Chains A and B, each alone.
Chain A
Amino acid sequence: MDKCKLMREISAVEFAAWELHLYLDTHPCDEKALEMQQKYVERAKELRKEYAECYGPLNYKEGSGLKWVKNPWPWEYMKECDC
C-alpha cells in the first residue's frame, strides 16, 4: 500500500480502537465492545508492521537511529500527502 493510504488506514483503525477503549472505561463489562476493540487492535498491528517495514518506525519499539529521526515529522506539511 502507498505511504499515505497506509497511514490513513492505520489512523482510522487506531481511532476506532481508541474510541472503543474510552467507551470501555465507563462500560467495562460490555463484551461486544471489548471484542470489537480487540479486532481493531489486531488489524492495527498488521498495518503497523507493514508501515514500519516499508516507511519507517512509528515508535521506539519499531526502530531507532536513521530510520527514526528521518523527516518528515508529523507536524510538517506534506504536499504529496493529500489526506
Chain B
Amino acid sequence: MFQYEKKLQFPVNIKNPNPKYAQIIISQFGGPDGELAASMRYLSQRYSMPYAELKGLLTDIGTEELSHLEMVGAIVYQLTRNLTIEEIKKSGFDKYFVDHTTGVYPVAASGAPFTAAYLQSKGDVITDLHEDLAAEQKARTTYDNILRLVDDPDVREPIKFLRQREIVHYQRFGEGLQLATDRLDSKNFYAFNPSFDKHCNKKVNNKRM
C-alpha cells in the first residue's frame, strides 16, 4: 500500500513564475520519458519479477518516481501562479491554458496527452530491465535538455536533483540486470524468456498440461 508524506523529496520554491518554462517542464509530468510513465512502468513490471531483490528494486524505484512526479507538478504549479492574460498570450502558454487553465495535467511539451503506450510491461525480466535502463537514460537526456533551456537557479536546482536520480536508478537497474543474468540457466546463453518458460516446463513435468 501507499501512504502520503506531506513533504517533497527535494524542496521546490520558485520566486519568479515563467509560463514558458512550465510548458517545457510539463513533459516530465506526462510526456514520453516523464515521471508518470516511469512510475507506472516499474509498478506494473514488478509483479512478474522472478527474484526478491528485483521485486524490491522495482517497488522502491516505482515509489520514488511518484515523489518525482509530485516535484515536477510542484515546479509547473509554481511557474504558472499569478499570471496575467498578457503573459499567457506572449509566452505561448495560451495553447495549454485554453484546455486546462493553470491546472496541472499529464501531457507532453508537444501537447500530446499521457498514454500507457509510453511504457511496456513484457513479463520477461531481461526485456523489462533493458527497457528500464533505457528509460532512465531517456529521462536523463530530457533533464539535460531542460537544463539547456532554463536559466533560473530556483528551477535548475530541483531539475538537477531529478537528473541525478536517473543516474542512480540506472546504476541500480544495471546491478539488477547482473543479478538476473547470473541466475539464468547456463544453457540459456541468449537470455530469453526465463521466467515464463521455467513455469511452463514445471507444468509439463507434472503432467498438468
Interface residues of A (CB under 8 A from B): 7-8, 10-11, 15, 18-19, 21-23, 25-28, 57-60, 68, 73-79, 81-83
Contacts and interface: CB of A to CB of B under 8 A. Distances in A.
A77 B57 contact: no
B138 interface: no
Contacts of A15: 9-10
Interface residues of B, number: 30
Interface string B52-68: 01001100110010000
B12 A75 contact: yes
Contacts of A22: 57, 60-61, 64, 168, 172
A23 to B, nearest CB: 7
Contacts of B81: 77
Contact of B168 (A19, A28, A81): A19
A31 to B, nearest CB: 16
B176 interface: yes
A28 B13 CA distance: 36
17 contacts: A11-B10, A11-B11, A18-B64, A22-B57, A25-B57, A25-B60, A25-B176, A26-B53, A26-B172, A26-B176, A57-B6, A59-B4, A59-B5, A59-B6, A75-B8, A75-B78, A79-B15
Nearest to B7: A74
Contacts of B15: 77, 79
Given A22-B168, A25-B53, A26-B172, 20 more contacts: A7-B11, A15-B9, A15-B10, A23-B172, A25-B60, A58-B7, A59-B5, A59-B6, A60-B3, A73-B6, A74-B8, A74-B70, A75-B70, A75-B78, A76-B77, A77-B15, A78-B13, A79-B13, A82-B13, A83-B11
A73 to B, nearest CB: 7
Q: List the 7 shortest-distance A-B pairs measured between CB atoms, nearest first.
A: A75-B74, A26-B175, A25-B57, A25-B56, A74-B8, A83-B11, A58-B6
B73 interface: yes
Given A75-B73, A82-B13, A10 B64 contact: no
B11 A8 contact: yes
B175 A59 contact: no
Contacts of B13: 77-79, 81-83
Interface string B165-209: 000100010011001000000000000000000000000000000
Interface string B1-31: 0011111111111110000000000000000
A58 B64 CA distance: 17
